[in-house]
């Protein structure tokens, strides 16, 4: 038997904790811990799982917060820093000890250094402002994620239809744009993953998943190798889709194929079966749909596989909706990862938007 502790952020003023028992397949709500407003995205420190970072997705001034993590996920607030803009929906910890945060509402990003103690922030860093789009449909820059790849920081921008390439110019916190990877006009790139030097991008406005070789620095683009829809077949009349998250758990002995999991959000007329998680496989550089798993959830903004928790966690994916009352659900990967089975649900809290599995 293994008990996994899971933390869950959301559009509230607290982060919740759950425990998942793999023997009984039960997901139990434990507690909630006060934070700043709207801790919609939470992450563990890259190497120290006793430290948690959370955005405060507030308008007009967002923030980044740090917490110590105790037994059963108990959180204690330590420090708060200005995010450098409005409505930060995402933060990412860097291997250098810095924390990157993007501001969706103001088209900005900031990389915040920490002291020798990664719980404490230094506030003297550059605010990167992205340009107003000259193409596409949004009319404003809308950065939505940070992703470290080598020494570069990649930021998908839904409004500019680009993935910005940032580099550190000198001292920690001093970053600037030094290139971009263009995406299809009007597609709205939202989140990315890179596996074996190939770039997988989930596009919110087009509800597509694309595949391309990762282009060499600085500005070189590579053609899309594969471009597929994430939308399930025969959706209800009045549906309106906005793809959100993409995950690629690393292969293991039990799950040798690196399946790609993409979350759909139907922001229009709901299907009574809820939104789907689309499961794809890269077969000869073509994205092939293996399953559309109906979840009963409403607008899956965030989901997370349990691989980050260590041994045994690779079998599971936790997910929740941004809307509705379906709560938090646990899914087990079946058929080697090509399918998902719902095995537990907890409805104490109706919605959650991001998750962290704590190491055992």
Question: Exposed/middle/buried for 23, CB within 10 Å: 0-12, 13-18, 19+?
Answer: exposed
Number of domains in the chain: 1
Residue 71 located in a structural domain: yes
- pLDDT tens digits, one per residue of 223-268: 999 999 999 999 999 999 999 999 999 999 999 999 999 999 999 9
- pLDDT tens digits, one per residue of 188-207: 999 999 999 999 999 999 99
Mean pLDDT across the stretch 108-127? 96
Q: Which stretch of 131-135, 145-149, 281-285 has the lowest confidence by average pLDDT?
A: 131-135
Residue 91 located in a structural domain: yes
- pLDDT tens digits, one per residue of 72-116: 999 999 999 999 999 999 999 999 999 999 999 999 999 999 999
Chain mean pLDDT for the chain: 96
Residue 298 located in a structural domain: no
Range of the domain at 70: 35-194
Residue 81 located in a structural domain: yes
Percent above pLDDT 90 for the chain: 93
CATH code for the domain of 105: 2.130.10.10
Q: pLDDT band for position 39 (50/70/90)?
A: very high
Residue 16 located in a structural domain: no
Query: What pLDDT, on a 0 to 100 scale, did the predictor assign at position 285?
Result: 98
Q: pLDDT band for position 136 (50/70/90)?
A: low
Residue 41 located in a structural domain: yes
Structure-token pair, residue 171: 């001292």
Query: What pLDDT, on a 0 to 100 scale, did the predictor assign at position 94?
Result: 98
Residue 284 located in a structural domain: no
Rounded to 5°, the CA angle 336-343-293 comes to 60
Residue 116 located in a structural domain: yes
Query: What pLDDT, on a 0 to 100 scale, did the predictor assign at position 258?
Result: 98
Query: What pLDDT, on a 0 to 100 scale, did the predictor assign at position 311?
Result: 85
- pLDDT tens digits, one per residue of 7-28: 999 999 999 999 999 999 999 9
């Amino acid at each position: 038997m293994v008990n996994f502790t899971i933390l869950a952020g959301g559009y509230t003023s607290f982060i919740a904790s759950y425990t998942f028992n793999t023997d009984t397949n039960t997901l139990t709500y434990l507690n909630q811990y006060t934070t700043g407003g709207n801790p919609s995205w939470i992450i563990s420190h890259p190497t120290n799982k006793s430290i948690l970072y959370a955005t405060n997705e507030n308008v007009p001034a967002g923030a980044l917060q740090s917490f110590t993590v105790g037994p059963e996920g108990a959180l204690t607030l330590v420090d708060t820093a200005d995010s450098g803009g409005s409505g930060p929906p995402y933060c990412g910890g860097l291997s250098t000890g810095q924390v990157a945060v993007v501001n969706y509402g103001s088209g900005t990003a900031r990389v915040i250094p920490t002291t020798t103690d990664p719980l404490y922030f230094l506030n003297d860093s550059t605010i990167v402002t992205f340009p107003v789009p000259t193409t596409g449909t949004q009319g404003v820059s809308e950065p939505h994620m940070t992703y470290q790849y080598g020494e570069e920081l990649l930021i998908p921008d839904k409004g500019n239809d680009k993935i910005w390439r940032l580099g550190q110019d000198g001292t920690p916190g001093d970053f600037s744009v030094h290139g971009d990877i263009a995406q299809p006009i009007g597609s709205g790139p939202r989140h990315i993953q890179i596996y074996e030097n190939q770039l997988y991008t989930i596009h919110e406005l087009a509800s597509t998943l694309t595949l391309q070789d990762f282009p060499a620095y600085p500005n070189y683009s590579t053609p899309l190798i594969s471009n597929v829809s994430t939308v399930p077949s025969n959706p209800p009349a009045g549906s309106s889709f906005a793809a959100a998250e993409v995950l690629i758990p690393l292969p293991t002995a039990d799950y040798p194929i690196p399946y790609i999991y993409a979350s759909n959000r139907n922001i229009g007329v709901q299907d009574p079966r809820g939104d789907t998680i689309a499961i794809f496989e890269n077969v000869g550089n073509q994205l092939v749909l293996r399953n559309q798993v109906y979840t009963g959830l409403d607008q899956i903004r965030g989901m997370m596989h349990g691989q980050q928790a260590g041994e045994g966690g690779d079998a599971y994916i936790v997910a929740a909706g941004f809307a509705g009352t379906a709560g938090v659900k646990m899914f087990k990967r079946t058929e080697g990862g090509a399918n998902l089975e719902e095995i537990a649900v907890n409805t104490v809290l109706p919605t959650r938007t991001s998750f962290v599995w704590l190491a055992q």
